[in-house]
Amino acid sequence: MLLKKAKKITVAPYSALAEIYDFVMNHVDYQRWANYVALIAQKHSDHLRSIVDFSCGTGSLCLQLKQLGYEVSGCDSSVEMIRIARQKLDAPIWCADMRHVATQSSPDLVVSLYDSMNYLPDNFSWLQSLKNAYSVLKSKGLFIFDISTLHNSINVFKKYIEKEKSEKAAYLRKSHFDKNRQLQINYFEIRYKKSPEIIFCETHKQRIRKVQEILEMIRQTDFELVGCYSGFSLQPGSEESERVHFVLKK
């Protein structure tokens, strides 16, 4: 464990992590991700101007998409993540759950990336989110989302421990995959320099589904599946991919 003589407090996912999320994710190339999103979106749409990120987190992807010239806005269910996003981004950013978020106008593209859909606990929530994206989009608009796959959990994140320190905090991250419940569990202990007497503990549960299960859920909506890509490529996504990007058209 990280420290002795400090009190452990259990808090909601991302409530303590938010402040150091960008440090924890500094290995992620959001510019590359934004370029990839633009590439696969342009492949399937002639008109792409406005984008809403349904799980924008601290706004890193929104920032890159904005720099590519798109009109961007974002929401996220974590108020703490939104607080950071608002500091980074001059764009409409609000707190909302992707299962029933409303938008002021109908965007050309909705995105939900970096495992965010894996957080949806059950099929009902998945269908709610898919149908909600459909309802907010313009006619012929796209919904692009990704999933982290079973292959990724079984082979890459089966057991993983990380300890890091930033200027603000020290954290411990332990990951394991519960095969019976198909849950990827990421457990964090975070201790901020400003409150060394407390260790914040967060347990993140991601439901890991087969690509086939996702395809089955998409079939239950009015969306047309126009793309299913492996990782950051244009190769077809499969159960062997670590990450799959889906492109749905209204």
Ligand X SMILES: C[S@@+](CC[C@H](N)C(=O)[O-])C[C@H]1O[C@@H](n2cnc3c(N)ncnc32)[C@H](O)[C@@H]1O
Binding residues for ligand X (CB under 6 A): 14, 54-57, 60-61, 76-78, 81, 97-99, 113-116, 119
Cβ closest to ligand X, residue 55 vs residue 230 = 55
For helices 60-67 and 30-44, the axis angle rounded to 10 degrees is 60
Q: Which long-range contacts (CB under 8 A, 24 or more apart) does 41-45 make?
A: 41/109, 41/142, 41/144, 41/247, 43/227, 43/234, 43/247, 44/142, 44/226, 44/227, 44/247, 44/249, 45/108, 45/109, 45/140, 45/141, 45/142, 45/249
| Shortest distance in whole angstroms from residue 113 CB to ligand X | 5
Which residues on adjacent β-strands are paired with residue 110?
A: 52, 143
Cβ closest to ligand X, residue 116 vs residue 184 = 116
Cβ closest to ligand X, residue 6 vs residue 83 = 83
| Shortest distance in whole angstroms from residue 204 CB to ligand X | 8
Cβ closest to ligand X, residue 104 vs residue 196 = 104
| Shortest distance in whole angstroms from residue 112 CB to ligand X | 7
- Alpha-carbon span 176 to 157, nearest angstrom: 6
| Shortest distance in whole angstroms from residue 128 CB to ligand X | 9
| Shortest distance in whole angstroms from residue 82 CB to ligand X | 9
Which residues on adjacent β-strands are paired with residue 190?
A: 171, 200
Cβ closest to ligand X, residue 78 vs residue 153 = 78
Residue nearest to ligand X (CB): 57
